[in-house]
Structure 1
Amino acid sequence: MEKIKVQDAVGAVLIHDMTEIIPGVVKGPRFRKGHIIRKEDIPVLLGMGKEHIYVWDQTPGLIHENEAAERLARSVRGPGLNLDEPKEGKINLTAAFDGLLYASEDGILALNTLEDVVLATIHNYQPVKKGDKIAGTRVVPLMIDEKVILEAERIAQTFPNPILEVRPLKTFKVGIVTTGSEVFHGRIKDKFGPVLRRKIENWGSIALEQTFASDDVSMIQSAIRDQLKHGAEMILVSGGMSVDPDDVTPTAIKEMGAQLITYGAPVLPGAMFLLAYLEDVPIMGLPGCVMYSKTTVFDLVAPRILTGEHLTRLDIVKLGHGGLCLECPTCTYPRCSFGK
């Protein structure tokens, strides 16, 4: 780039946007990058307080910040993301549809270790809505050595999955089995069902008819099998998840031959959470907090399963960092620290 006097700029090509600010009237680009300066532009530029401007000098090996930011954005973009137009050297990536953000934390770190490269994102596994801002890219200098951007593009290609992508939640048929002799015999009213049904439907899935079982291993297993017969692709078993002698839900699930991923999670509320797979069908044992706490471990795990992800014990263990809900008087999840 080259710095020249405004009076000598006729015919030169602007290298960046020129912002005009008139309080209460306008604040935005008066001249865009690539604009060829005309004679009539000179008094306008002087009126904007510009004595000198930077123009394109076509130095080999250097690229403009807008091009660099766009190439960075394209290198990290996976499915489910749109790119905004470059603005003052920055490109925003937004969600193309509702879903869950999958971000490679290692990939983000690797790119940001490159000098003069900036990639800022929201937290991994965060639920997003269409149009939500997901990330922004830019470079620090107005002009940057293209070798830096080529290295960023190379790094992005070394990861098996895109550094950033939004995965839609699939539509599952979800079976609900509520355990507990007190509910089964009608001594108390079930409160799990309405909560679970509302969450399932908000995620775009279908809640099958809820079934009930007393605190009996064989009855719980029979209820789970009935849900499978009715086409359940995910099963939620509520109640009976503590260590009391009468709480036999974990035993019932394990003794069905299900692959136990975890019984217990480093999340509060939700420590007594169970995840298992019976062949390909995920089964979640839900503790009592799901019934009365607005956001729990269930809200962190279920959406990931609904994207089609097969979770491991390590995935659950990692929830400990950020797994403490502060139980604010007004819940703002997911725009808070929980699950981050």
Structure 2
Amino acid sequence: MRFGPLPLAEAEGAVLAHSLTAAGRRLKKGCALTAGDLAALREAGFATVTAARLGPEDLSEDQAAATLAAALAPDPLALGVSRGAPFTGRANLHALSTGVLRVDRARIDAANAVDEAITVSTLADWSRVSPRTMVATVKIIPYAAPREAVARAAAILSGGGLSGGGPALRSHPVRLRRASLALTHVPGMKPRLLDKGAEALAARLAALGMSVADEARTPHEIEALAAALRAARGEMILVLGGSAPSDRRDVAPAAVEAAGGRLIRFGMPVDPGNLMFLGDLDGRPVLGMPGSSRSPALSGTDWVLERLACGLEVTAADIAGMGVGGLLKEIPSRPQPRAGGAGAAEKPFVTALLLAAGASSRMQGRDKLLEEVGGEPVLRRSARALVASGADEVIAVLRPGDEARRAALSGLAVTLVENPEAAEGMAASIRRGLSAADPEADAVLLALADMPEVASAHADALIEAFDPARGAAICRAADAEGRPGHPVLFGRRFFESLSRLTGDEGARDILRTNADFVRLVKTEGRGARLDLDTPEAWAAWRAEQTG
């Protein structure tokens, strides 16, 4: 890759290194310079520009990031993760469900040592994750990476180049669904303390998506507790004693053996959590919870509970190896059991609104949304693209009583809503779709149904680019030349403004008045700009497709 000052005559296609303004045109860092951009720079008096020119030995930042992310998670669903589309040299992986993350540190370290252009970051091994938690990110630091280095790093991540094979990371989902609670009480113990303990354990289970199968409260005696353990129906048993055990022969651990089970480990090198124990009864784990478990604060028993809930074996050696990092009481910010980790980055929940309530007034009596593309109506094609994207739900807004458009969407995972005010224009459809969106949505993606070359990749690129913390609270698709088009993704902060739109201008005013929050996202080809509103436009497009 050549990087540095380039004469304008040699800069077409090069990647701009620093944002510039020339002849009223704003050229952003990272854009590929076009002939029009260079003409504006010449008019503004520029003779050179600092840019990067890729050679045949290079992969672009997005190509390199996508290659490495695919090597890191070649079968995302089997590994419990989703793999996002690359954007500005970054590709993110997110957990699909609640569970724990396993990471092969040696392999990640080896990949990061291949070339300084390549970086792979993950959460720590054994991290607790929730749905949409970001578990890993691949970032290419310059605008390109050496093709050979990317191939070597990809081979390491996919298992070739290090012994052992297997995935470099895997998110293990929770497998167990129901647990039994066994609580003991000593003379003089207030019932409220038992209630508090049961509530705390139930909350820990709920955070993992588990429920309480049954609950037993017995005197703090070996035989009474052993009988309760034998009667328990859950896939796992949690024991909280009225008095903390001080030896493996004390009441609670001894009751496991009296019930016919075996004790695997008593005590752990984690504080709080020292006085836990782990046993097995007829193939079901029995986890002894220390008194600190009545608090929602993180405890060493949470580490063991999470692994057991995911169906993973926990050995005495595993527990003995938890000492480094196990001084939890000294951590300034300790995540609560429901938090899924302090400050965990999460993939946004995105609702896609397919605006399909227009009148096709310029089509001379034909319905443009029923025009066929590839053997199906363009409306169905547009909906399928959104369903296949990273959007979490898809809502199609239709005009009232339009059975033909409704039929075109049959069988798709799309929520259909009618807009009784469709005659008002696009604003009414945006309002209607927004009112039907999930109340917890972080963003809405507005898509038009008459754009035959918009694909799921367009939506995915916008979702990956969405980063309100860094100013990208609105993401708008642009064509390959950087000209703005559709779809457009709006963050939650603009929902109120969208809900107050009127007329047929759509969200143009919001885009104009909030230009500082808009990030243009270049997409391949011309799809982001191509909409077909007339019979002549459809005929010309079809002639071009067959030409």
- Which band: TM-score by shorter chain? 0.7 to 0.9
Q: Which residue of 2 aligns with 1:52?
A: 49
Q: Which residue of 1 aligns with 2:224?
A: 219
Q: CA deviation at 1:176?
A: 0.3
Equivalent in the alignment of 1:20: 19
Does structure 1 conserve the Cα–Cα contact (< 8 Å) formed by 2:107 and 2:157? yes
Q: Note the C-alpha offset of 1:218.
A: 1.7
Contact 1:170 1:204 in 2 (8 A): no
* 8 Å contact kept, 1:241–1:250: no
Runs of 5+ in structure 2 lacking a partner? 344-547
Distance 1:327-1:144 versus aligned 2 partners, 3 A rule: closer
Shift of the 36–187 alpha-carbon distance from structure 1 to 2, 3 Å rule, reads closer
Equivalent residue letter for 1:67: Q
Give the deviation of 1:37 after TM superposition. 1.8
Q: 2:179–2:211: 8 Å Cα contact kept in structure 1?
A: yes
**Alpha-carbon distance between aligned partners in 2 of 1:299 and 1:102, rounded to the nearest angstrom:** 16
Distance 2:20 2:135 in 1: 28
**Corresponding residue for residue 151 of structure 1:** 152
Q: After the TM superposition, which residues 169-188 of structure 1 pair with which residues of structure 2 at under 5 Å, given as runs?
A: 169-182=174-187
Q: Per the alignment, do residues 256 and 30 of structure 1 end up closer, same or farther by CA in structure 2, a change over 3 Å counting?
A: same
Distance 1:149 1:2, change over 3 A: closer
In structure 2, give the amino acid aligned to 1:217. I
| Residue-by-residue CA offset, 1:167-189 (whole Å, 9 max, x unaligned) | 32234211000123337x87774
CA drift of 1:316 comes to 1.3
| Aligned equivalent of 1:251 | 254
Alignment RMSD (CA, Å): 3.4
Deviations 1:21-55 (A, max 9, x none): 78xxx9994664xx462245431588697823546
Matches within 5 A, 1:131-150: 131-150=132-151
Question: In the alignment, residue 213 of structure 1 is paired with which amino acid?
Answer: T
Cα–Cα, structure 1 residues 313 and 332, in superposed 2: closer, same or farther, change >3 Å? Answer: same
1:205 maps to which of 197, 210, 216: 210
> How do 1:279-298 and structure 2 match up within 5 A?
279-292=282-295, 294-298=297-301
Query: 1:232-251: per-residue Cα shift (whole Å, max 9, x none)?
Result: 10000111442279941111
How far apart are residue 223 of structure 1 and its match?
0.2
How far did residue 256 of structure 1 move?
Answer: 3.4
Q: Is the 8 A contact 2:95 2:171 kept in 1?
A: yes
Separation (CA, whole Å) in 2 of partners of 1:6 and 1:68: 27
Secondary structure at 1:130's aligned position in 2?
A: coil
- Could you tell me how far apart the structure 1 residues matched to 2:7 and 2:39 are? 6
The 5 A counterparts of 1:1-340 are: 1-2=1-2, 5-9=6-10, 12-14=12-14, 16=15, 20=19, 29=28, 32=31, 35=32, 37-39=34-36, 41-44=38-41, 51-54=48-51, 56=53, 58-59=55-56, 61-77=57-73, 78=76, 79-116=79-116, 117-158=118-159, 159-182=164-187, 189-190=193-194, 191-227=196-232, 231-239=233-241, 240-243=243-246, 247-292=250-295, 294-326=297-329, 331-333=334-336, 334-335=341-342
Distance (Å, rounded) in 2 between the aligned partners of 1:182 and 1:201: 30
Cα distance change of structure 1 residues 242 and 175 upon mapping to structure 2, 3 Å threshold: same
TM superposition shift of 1:281: 0.7
Measure, in 2, the Cα distance between the counterparts of 1:197 and 1:21.
57
**Identity across aligned pairs (percent)?**
22
Q: 1:113 to 1:216 in 2, by over 3 A?
A: same
What do residues 86-136 of structure 1 show as CA deviations (whole Å, max 9, x unaligned)?
333232323334433222222222222323232122222222333333222
Letter in 1 for 2:149: V
Higher RCO structure (Cα 8 Å, ≥6 apart): 1
Larger Rg: 2
Structure 2 Cα separation of the partners of residues 49 and 129 of structure 1? 50
SS of residue in 2 equivalent to 1:209: strand
Q: Say whether the 8 Å CA contact 1:20–1:48 is kept in structure 2.
A: no
> CA-to-partner distance for each residue in 1:32-84, whole Å, 9 max, x for gaps?
4xx4622454315886978235465643x432333222211221124233333
1:261-292: CA deviation from partner (whole Å, max 9, x where unpaired): 21111110010111122232111011111113
CA distance in 2, matches of 1:243, 1:134: 38
What is the rounded CA distance, in whole Å, between the counterparts of 1:236 and 1:262 in structure 2? 15
Residue 323 of structure 1 and its aligned partner are, at CA, apart by 0.9
Segment of structure 1 superposing worse, 205-214 or 248-257: 248-257
TM-score (structure 2 length as normaliser): 0.52
> For the structure 1 residues 279 and 107, does the alpha-carbon distance in structure 2 shift closer, same or farther, using more than 3 Å as the test?
farther
Contact 1:66-1:87 within 8 A present in 2 as well: yes
* 330 and 67 in structure 1: CA distance in 2 versus 1, 3 angstrom threshold: closer
How many residue pairs match? The answer is 324
- Confirm or deny: 8 A CA contact 1:6 1:42 kept in the other structure: no
